[in-house]
Amino acid sequence: MPTQILKAHKVRLYPNEDQQIFFAKSFGCSRFIWNKMLGDKIDHYKATKTTLNNTPAQYKKEFEWLKEVDSLALANVQQQLRGAYNKFFKQSSGFPNFKKKGIRDSYTTNNQKGTVAITDSTVKLPKIGHINAKFPDKINGLIKSATINRTPSGRYYVSLLVETIVNALPKTQSNIGIDLGLTDFIVLSDGTKVANPKFLSKLQDKLARAQKILAKRRAIAKADQRKLSESRNYQKQKLKVAKVYEKITNTRKDFLHKLSFNIIKNHDVIAIEDLNVKGMVKNRKLAKAISDSSWSSFTTMLAYKAEWYGKTLVKIDRWYPSSKTCSNCGHLLTKAELPLSVRSWNCPSCLQENDRDLNASINILNQGLLLAKQSKTVGATGLA
């Protein structure tokens, strides 16, 4: 059955010099409004113990250069700040931070009667017109908004949020359990093992060399009493470091998207662990490996793709002893009987030899099928 969804398409932009200047102004104005509104809210609360309902419009008389950029970009900053405040008070998340130049430079605008549109080779944006672009795939549907950002490596992208229709994938009569790991990225209950690509580890030496050169050039600039922004050699090397990081991020995302779609396409019920990733990365010995694996991104992709394509994703309680339970007879070992260093074990009850990860994935599948019958499924929000 067709489902209406909101899907984001990331498109590479190739702006000319004037367009780059406009983007820089837009990034700067968006950052200024965020910081100004946040600072005024904080000062107002300290003085009155009440919340200040300020808007971008009230700052335009004092700061007339704010009129040079898209007004919807500033309006979206107001909405984002309001959302961050609500999240802080209602969900006890972190308090909104002030923004810095060069870190996640972006702004968002909305499509109003065709102000955001696409052609075969360009993207049209308000107050700037058509920008040369490269589309990775075909975009079908109504464009709702566009978020433009500049990466640390100096590349420009626009994320187009499109309202479109997707058709449910055909049922395969196949169900799967997934055990997440570090040696193998995932182990499936059918015995399939997907190796961990370790994208960061593969480029660790190249990254370390680039960062070492960057540190030397920072020291040279400091010794010469020059600002880093005025040191060409430092800026060139900073760009090289950013490109290495960007390559790691892009290859990782490509791997996760392809793997998650392949699993959704070939299975009807997917069962997976609900891991406490935030808690796990506090382990200094495993933090880098866990972050490199991006389990959270993978489970989030599985969640929204299952929702899009009519499949069922079930999360298993993080305390469920999937590794210590024999998948054949249900015998449960203690933590002392099965330390992390033991990768396989023989069940003392039925004598079955259990591969630790494969056994866990089978138990996850069995538990997931029980929960699926009770309709205890989870969407993208629940897993994220």
Catalytic residues: 179, 273, 357
CA angle 168–9–147, rounded 5-degree value: 135
CA angle 211–216–219, rounded 5-degree value: 125
Closest CA to 73 of 114, 128, 4: 128
Q: Which residue has the tokens 């959270």?
A: 296
| Amino acid sitting at position 201 | S
Pull the structure tokens for residue 151: 């990466």
CA distance 218 to 224: 10
**Within a 13 Å sphere around the CA of 60, how many CA atoms are in the beta-carbon half?**
12
CA R_g for the chain: 25
| Amino acid sitting at position 216 | K
User: Quick check: 264 and 270 in contact, CB under 8 A?
Assistant: yes
CA distance 343 to 353: 11
Calculated CA dihedral for residues 343, 344, 348, 350, nearest 10 degrees:
140
84, burial (CB in 10 Å: exposed 0-12, middle 13-18, buried 19+)? middle
User: Quick check: 290 and 280 in contact, CB under 8 A?
Assistant: yes
